Amino acid sequence: MGRVYLPQPADELRQRQAATLRRPRRSYSRAAKALFLVMDALYGRAGSLRKYRVLEIVARVPYQAWENVAYVAITHTSESPRFARDIHDRVVAVRAQQDNEQWHLLVLEEMLHTSGHRHTLVRDRLLPQLIAFMYYQVSWLLYTVSPKWSYRLNADFEDHAEHEYMTFVADHPELDDTAWVSAFADDYGHHDTVGDLFRSIGNDERLHKEESEALIAAARFGKPNS
Ligand SMILES: [Fe+2]
Ligand SMILES: [Fe+2]
């Protein structure tokens, strides 16, 4: 398993945006709804670079928690090579998702910096770390009790992020007239406009969601460590 997050052409991204906007949201769990409520209360209901930066800080956390648990599992299953291999493959996939979220974060940090935003101590530094810390604990705990609970929470989170980005572009057509110039374009992928960049990030979130949904389905069929 595992995907490579290849940049898609602009017309393909527009089709994927339209598909997301047509698709109903998942039926979010109470834990996911609570998280979205906190984010809205602290950073506003409307989308913004500032809010999305926090979203990306939090987005990496479940993958880190899963990786942590998987490493412990590998240590205790190394006598069963097939099982250990299975977990190792999962770690590789999880790391790819984590890296992808990291590029989202770096790109958004860069855009905020360019826009002249200066981070404040509480809302931009302490609170995001606090939310991420608590979300890590929840993800870790759910994963150790039943991985599919943690996958479900992540699928909700990714579905929310996918819709947030795709809706944000639809609400801000001026982004399609704004050129995207970035020091990270060679790493993340080249996009002509900020509109296409956000469509691409939204598309990545959809892929993350689908990977978690696939893991939920695999867990129902009792695959190892799922
Ligand atoms: Fe992301
Ligand atoms: Fe994501």
Using one digit for the tens of pLDDT, what is the confidence trace for 135-155? 999 999 999 999 999 999 999
| Cα of 77 from ligand 1 centre, angstroms | 32
Cα(80) to ligand 2 centroid in Å equals 32
**Closest-CA residue to 52 (of 166, 179, 130):** 166
- Tens of pLDDT, residue by residue over 36-67, are 999 999 999 999 999 999 999 999 999 999 99
| Segment 145-185, tens digit of pLDDT | 999 999 999 999 999 999 999 999 999 999 999 999 999 99
Q: What percent of the chain has pLDDT over 70?
A: 95
Q: Counting ligands in written order, which one lies closest to the CA of residue 165?
A: 1
Give the CA distances from residue 170 to residues 18, 62, 189, 202, 217, in Å, rounded to whole numbers and listed in that order.
Answer: 9, 28, 21, 12, 32
| CATH number of the domain located at residue range(s) 28-220 in this protein | 1.20.1260.140
Q: How remote is the CA of residue 89 from the centroid of ligand 1, in Å? A: 22
**Ligand 2 centroid – CA 224 distance (Å):** 24
Q: How far is ligand 2, taken at its centre, from the CA of residue 101, in Å?
A: 6
Q: If you measure from the C-alpha of residue 157 to the centroid of ligand 1, how many angstroms do you get, rounded to a whole number?
A: 10
Per-residue confidence at 2, pLDDT binned at 50, 70, 90?
Answer: very low
CA of residue 35 to ligand 2 center, whole Å: 15
Q: Which ligand is nearest to the CA of 108?
A: 1
**Arithmetic mean of pLDDT, 215-224:** 78
CA of 58 to the centre of ligand 2 (A): 10
pLDDT band at 220 (very low <50, low <70, confident <90, very high): confident
* Proximal ligand: closest to the CA of 157: 2
Ligand number, closest to the Cα atom of 197: 1
Residues with CB under 5 A from ligand 1 (ion): 56, 59, 101, 104
**Domain extent listing, the chain:** 28-220
Q: Which has the closest alpha carbon to 65: 144, 126, 131, 127?
A: 144
Ligand at minimal distance from the CA of 208 is 2
Q: How many angstroms does the Cα of residue 202 sit away from the middle of ligand 1?
A: 8
- Identify which of 91, 92, 64 has the alpha carbon closest to the alpha carbon of residue 225: 91
pLDDT band of residue 84 (cuts 50, 70, 90) is confident
Question: How close is the Cα of 111 to the center of ligand 1, in Å?
Answer: 15
**Mean pLDDT across the chain, nearest whole number?**
92
